[in-house]
Chains A and B, each alone.
Chain A
Amino acid sequence: MSAVKIENISKSFDTVLALAQVSFDVLKGELFGLIGPDGAGKTTMFKILTTLLMPDQGKAYVEGFHTVKDYKKIRRIIGYMPGKFSLYQDLTVEENLNFFATIFNTSIKENYHLIADIYGQLEPFKKRRAGNLSGGMKQKLALSCALIHEPKVLFLDEPTTGVDAVSRAEFWEMLGRLKAKGITIVVSTPYMDEASLCERIALIQTGKILSIDTPEHITNAYHKPLYAVRSDDFFRLMKELRGQHFAERVEPFGEYLHLTTKDQITEHEIHQYIQSQGHSTIELSAIEATIEDVFLDLMQAN
């Protein structure tokens, strides 16, 4: 049985279509990622799955319970961490955790083993008010509060947005350990580089699912020729390549441009072209696609 089952869910706000006929399953014990830019419909999906929002059409089940009819049962077995930091800023770290433990009829002591390695880092600051924590610590506290009642399914809406790179890496390590404890985790993120840390991902854009698979399968399915390229004049190179008929897409990826070609053109011919434009210190190599390449490609196709 799936931990989460979504069948043809549609939801619109006024005239804006937030989700269009979305369907997917999340297996038990899986670390599942919902990957897409802001406004793709990720938060709406989370609100429906956490029983806060009614879908216009379609059905969704969490651990076999219907999100509208059995919402009370779902609310006992899930942990939810909203995208916006939603704890009591004027309560201390300890008071927040205590409060959420109590309303789920448990205590910090009882389930300390679940949050030990997360809350452990926060304990030196347990008398500090939540509003005065750094971004990374806020996320850890929010995760602790969502975990304290030992949920079967954990919903994390953009947990790493606004968090520094080190804390982000730490956070994903923690998710790995939670998964090892058998908790199903559904996480959303706008950062494509985090997609590869999930077991399976769904790429979502303007309310539509573009692709669902393991990150490897998704990147392997990209069959177009792809090159990483750079030269001494980065922006002129980008402009010139974008004007070429052989270039399907040219996107900046950090220090390199990712060039997808559509015509039969060899690496050598590309190099010659760039040289003929007067660039120096040219680097050019064929590469494997990343999730972001696939995402941009699927976006363009839609």
Chain B
Amino acid sequence: MMLRTFIAFVKKETFHILRDPRTLFILFGMPIALVFIFGYTITNEFTGASISVVDQSKDKLSQALIDHLVASGHFELINVSDDIVSLENDFKAGVVKMGVVISPLFEQHFYRDKKATVQIIADATEPNYAATLTNYATRMINAFQNTKSEISSIPYQLDIESRMYYNPKLIGAYNFVPGVVALILMLICAMMTSLTIAKEKEMGTMDLLLVSPLHPLLIILGKVTPYVILSFINAIIVLGIGYFVFTVPIKGSLVLLLLLVLLYLMVALALGILISTKANSQQTAMMSSLFILLLPTMLLSGFIFPIASMPVILQYISKIIPAKYFIIIEKAIMLKGASLDSVINPVIVLGIMLVILLAAALKNFKVIYK
């Protein structure tokens, strides 16, 4: 009997989803749109950044340095002058984001005094981009110095060799694909669940369901099961796009990854049910979902902003964001090829969250209103 009722419930819920174009769009349009938006717009990679050079030296070595910068393909030379004012004009016009100033008598100072000055000036109205550009330029100038110093050999120099493990090319997709999976699952699973339960309340059909022999648990399970399945399919789609379009590897066990996706789904689901027990209309459910789920998941999970650079209080808040732990798990399995042993801590945290949220949701689910 239980099974028959359960199937009838899942069937009904599937009809609701299939017959509402808006729901269908949120379910399948949004995830795919999000991946591509993040994939192509939010990235720290750059090629052909426009720069302006103020060459006050105009000798062989200064020309060699300019050639070295441009040859990499990362920088495109817009303007070379000997006056700092022209650089400032370029900044104001927004033509370039970075300027390189080579001081007078560059070659002479470099070889004879072993001390020459190159100044990098960046337009920091876009701080992240400015930091990335100056970093890159600094690295290139250091490399340039090393090649030239071999000839003159500066004694006692500290040689720093840095290697970027797990993502040697610093590809942005390696960061955002796990982030988008965490975001989409939280949004779809939790928001859609809270919306669909709130809708039953708003339409008055929840009263009819309650005034029936159905166990409340069965009502909830019947309602959420289709969303679990759809969210799971979504997770696979997003991971697939990550793998095939953005070449994000999955080094660890795919089975383990999908199992932990399921665990995270359950947490999202429990959160959605908890929200719906408090929200009596779809509008309230929607607003609270956006506030409780979307913003923290985007901003405090470490997806967009690194947790380590947040104010201390926000770092503490980030500890209760499920997405934070899920992103750790995803990155470990996908990028580092980690096994369950290595991610056991975040897995346990998610497990505890699931138990607490489920208990709270069930406790708050009213079978008789006060």
Contact = CB atoms under 8 A, between A and B. Distances in A.
A296 to B, nearest CB: 32
Contacts of B210: 51-52, 75
B15 interface: yes
Nearest to B213: A76
B208 A86 contact: yes
Interface string B1-38: 10011001100100110011000000000000000000
A98 B8 CA distance: 9
Contacts of B1: 105
A100 interface: yes
Given A53-B368, A53-B369, A86-B203, A103 B211 contact: no
A80 B8 CA distance: 20
Contacts of B203: 86, 88-89
A50 interface: yes
Interface residues of A, number: 31
Contacts of B5: 102-103, 105
Given A76-B213, A103-B212, A105-B213, A87 B370 contact: no
A95 interface: yes
B369 A52 contact: yes
Contact of A104 (B212, B368, B369): B212
A102 B8 contact: yes
A78 interface: yes
Interface string B337-370: 0000000000000000000000000000001111
A90 interface: yes
Contact of B208 (A47, A51, A71, A100): A100
Contact of B12 (A78, A99, A145): A99
A82 interface: yes
From A75, A78, A88, A91, residue with most partner B Cβ within 10 Å: A88
Interface string A48-90: 0011111000000000000010011001101010101111111
B204 interface: yes
Interface in A168-203: none
B207 interface: yes
Contacts of B208: 80, 82, 86-87, 100, 145
Contacts of A105: 1, 4-5, 213
A213 B175 CA distance: 75
A90 B205 contact: no
B214 A51 contact: no
Contact of B16 (A82, A84, A85, A88): A88
Given A99-B8, A103-B212, A52 B207 contact: yes
Contacts of A68: 368
B78 interface: no
Interface in A12-68: 47, 50-54, 68
A25 B241 CA distance: 66
B209 interface: yes
Nearest to B210: A52
A90 B199 CA distance: 12
A53 B211 CA distance: 11
B204 A103 contact: no
A52 to B, nearest CB: 6
A98 B12 CA distance: 10
Contacts of A76: 213
Nearest to B212: A103
Given A54-B370, A95-B12, A103-B9, 9 more contacts: A50-B211, A52-B369, A54-B368, A68-B368, A76-B213, A86-B207, A87-B205, A102-B8, A104-B213
CB-CB nearest 6 A-B residue pairs: A86-B204, A102-B8, A80-B211, A90-B19, A76-B213, A84-B204
19 contacts: A51-B210, A52-B210, A52-B211, A75-B210, A75-B211, A76-B213, A80-B208, A86-B203, A86-B204, A86-B207, A90-B16, A90-B19, A91-B12, A95-B12, A100-B212, A103-B5, A103-B9, A103-B214, A105-B213
